[in-house]
Copies of this chain bind each other. A is one copy, B any other.
Amino acid sequence: MNDYHRFSIQAVLRYHVWTPGWLLLNVAASRCAGQQVTNENVSSREGGGLVEQTAPDGLTRFHAMNVAEGECEVTYRAEVVRSVSDFADSWEPREASLVELPPAVARYLYPSRYCESDKLVRFAAKEFGALCPGHSRVVAICNWIHEQIDYQPGATNEHSSAADCLVFRAGVCRDFAHLGIAFCRALGIPARYGSSYAHGLPYPDFHAFFEVWLGDRWWYYDATRLAPQAGFILIGTGHDAADNSVATMSQGVQFVSADLRVEKVSPGNLDYTTSPIAFD
């Protein structure tokens, strides 16, 4: 099954600069397979130059800029056409064995800043170790997170990790993704973080989900179930929120506000599914 959806995106980000420094933004829609980006514009109200860079995996684009003392406002606008390739009905992706993993995938087996899979090996084995490997096991992980963890803004902060989320039993989309990733890696399944715009969120914000390597490709999973996955517009992927944060900044640069608008331009409703999807 293939669907096409067209979205219009706008993000306005404001910072206060106490000490001249730099900003590294991660807000541009990915020019990945299945996602066509047009009419794109990134600009700074103060006129500072933005240098675009693409990460080595070709998926994530960054915009780096030097910032002067005072206010700083950056606006991103684009139109994105997404094609969505659903699971074939009759095929269930399996977990790949370690020796057949491409090296660029194998590195997503390791623990990362916010996904301490090294600490969760026993936890994951006890909860999910006996389940049949493959898609259904990852679904069981998503169900577990959805049922056991409260979606609760304010319960965690920017330093919180998967293990913290597990102890507090609460978090936001970023924590849900971290926990899903950590469980998968602890079981030997490559998993990575996805940051995105999302159509249909209860309130306009950046969204986070996670990707799992099954069969021979990455599939989307989202334990929050806050929005239809067909309405995710990928910004980038990485180990976790550490290399996918909306902005990394030098000391003395302070976040002020972000205003997002994600509109569906093409007619029709998004199919609301929490099933994993892949984009090709």
Q: Which A residues contact B (CB, under 8 angstroms)?
A: 21-22, 24, 49, 51, 53-57, 62, 64-66, 97-99, 101-104, 106-107, 109-113, 115-116, 118-123, 125-126, 129, 148, 150, 155, 157-159, 163, 166-170, 188, 238-239, 242-243, 245, 248, 250-251
Contact = CB atoms under 8 A, between A and B. Distances in A.
A167 B242 contact: no
A110 B113 contact: yes
A107 B243 contact: yes
A256 B167 CA distance: 25
Contact of A51 (B22, B99, B120, B163): B99
Number of copies: 4
Contacts of A168: 119, 122-123
A259 B99 CA distance: 25
A56 B103 CA distance: 6
A108 to B, nearest CB: 10
Contacts of A126: 148, 169
A115 to B, nearest CB: 8
Contact of A157 (B22, B49, B104, B157): B157
B166 A166 contact: yes
B22 A64 contact: no
A97 B242 contact: no
Contact of A113 (B98, B111, B157): B111
Given A21-B188, A62-B106, 15 more contacts: A22-B98, A51-B99, A53-B106, A56-B56, A111-B242, A113-B113, A116-B159, A118-B158, A122-B155, A122-B169, A123-B167, A126-B148, A163-B167, A166-B166, A166-B167
A263 B238 CA distance: 39
Contact of A119 (B120, B167, B245): B167
A251 B169 contact: no
Given A110-B113, A123-B169, A126-B148, A118 B242 contact: yes
Contacts of A55: 103-104, 106-107
